[in-house]
Chains A and B, each alone.
Chain A
C-alpha cells in the first residue's frame, strides 16, 4: 500500500534536515550578535540598559518559545507584510537565543573573581580597559562550554518552527508520516537525526567543561 522504502524515508528526512541545520546556524549566529549587545546592556553602568536587558531576558525566558514563534509570525503580519514562515522562525529564534546566551555570559562575567577588578583598578585601568584586557578574556574561557551546550537547545528549538509551517526535519517527519503511515519508523529516524546533530555538541561541551575544570585546579 505504500511505495516508500526505508531509504526513501531517510532520504527525505535528511534533505529536510539541511534546513534544520541552516536555521540553527542562523539562529545561533544572529542570537550571539544580539546576545552580545544584550550582555553589555545588562552588565553596563547606567540604569536604562540593565533594566531593559533584564526585562527582555525575563520575558523571553519566562514564555514558551512556541508563543514567541506565533507572535513573530502573526506580529510581523500586522505590518502588512506577507510573512514567510522561515522569516518568523529566524526572527523568533534569534531573539530567544539572544536572551539565553546573554544570561549565560553574564554569569561568566560575574564568575571572574572580584580581586581581578580590584587589581586592575589599582593599576589605573578604566572600566573599558578592565573589560577588554582582564575580565572578558577570562570570562570567555569559562563561557565556551555552556555556550556550546546551549547550541543543543537551539537545534532542538528549531523543531517548534514546524508548527508555524517551516519545513524542516520535524515538519518533514509529519509529512512523510502522512504519506507512509509509518509513524514509528519515521519519528524514530527523525529522533535519530536530531540525536546525531545534537550529541556531538553535547559531548564537546562536556569535554570542554572537564578540560576547563582541570585547568582551574592548577591555580
Chain B
C-alpha cells in the first residue's frame, strides 16, 4: 500500500465539520425528545388505550420497524410533496427521526408498562384515580426506569442512523464529510475523522443519557 495519509485539510475545513456536528446534535436532541414522547403516547395507546386505537398504533409500529430509515426519509421528503406536504430538509429529517424513534420507543416502553405489577393499577384505582391518572402518576416513571437502558441504546442507534439524512441534503456531519472529501479528494481520511467524531458523540450521548437516568429516577424504586 503506497498511500500517504494526509490530515492537513482539517486545518481548513474544521468549521464545516463543526457545523455538521451541530446539526447532528440538534437533530438528535429534538428527535430524541419528541421521539420518546411519541413513544410514550403510543405505548400508552397500545397497552392501555381504547380498542379502536390499538390496531392503528400497531400498524404504525410494524410499518416503521420493518422498513429502512433511509426509505422512510425518502418517502417523507420526496414522496409526501405529492400529497401537498412539502417541507425543508431539516424538518423532514427531524420528522423521520421522531417517527422512527417513536415506533421503537413504543415497543420498548410498552414492555416496561407490561412489567408493572397488577397491584399498582389496582392501588391507583382504589385511590379513585382514573386510568390515565394511574398511568401518568403511578405506572409511567417506574416503567421508564425499568427500560431506560434499552431506550438509551435506541436513542444512540437513532443518532448513528441519522447519518442517512445527508442523502436528502440535510447538512449534518455526514453531509459535511461528503462535502469535504469532494473538495480535498481525501475520502478515506475524511470519513475516518467523521467516524471518530460519531464514536465520540455516541460515547458522550450514552453518558448523558445515563446521567439523565440518574436525575429522573433518583431512587431505585420498582425493579
Contacts and interface: CB of A to CB of B under 8 A. Distances in A.
A191 B71 contact: yes
B195 A63 contact: yes
Interface of A: 59, 62-68, 70-71, 74-75, 77-80, 152, 156-160, 162-163, 170, 173-174, 177, 182-184, 186-188, 190-191, 194-195, 198-199, 202
Nearest to B77: A183
Contact of B198 (A64, A198, A202): A64
B67 A194 contact: yes
B70 A78 contact: no
Interface stretch (B29-37, B133-141, B157-165): B157-165
Contact of B161 (A62, A64, A174, A195): A64
B66 A198 contact: yes
B67 A184 contact: no
A177 B164 CA distance: 18
A134 B69 CA distance: 40
Contact of A184 (B3, B69, B82): B82
Interface in B138-164: 156, 160-164
B80 A67 contact: no
Contacts of A187: 71, 74-75, 78-79
A79 B156 CA distance: 33
B70 A170 contact: yes
Contacts of B62: 195, 199, 202
B203 A156 contact: no
A198 B203 contact: no
Nearest to A192: B67
B68 interface: yes
Contacts of A74: 187-188, 191
A170 B68 CA distance: 9
Contacts of B162: 64
Given A74-B187, A78-B3, A163-B167, A191 B67 contact: yes
A96 to B, nearest CB: 11
Given A66-B163, A67-B198, A74-B187, A162 B70 contact: yes
Given A71-B188, A75-B188, A184 B195 contact: no
A14 to B, nearest CB: 15
B63 interface: yes
B167 to A, nearest CB: 6
Contacts of B1: 78-80
Interface string B183-223: 00001100110110011001100000000000000000000
Interface string B169-185: 00000100100000000
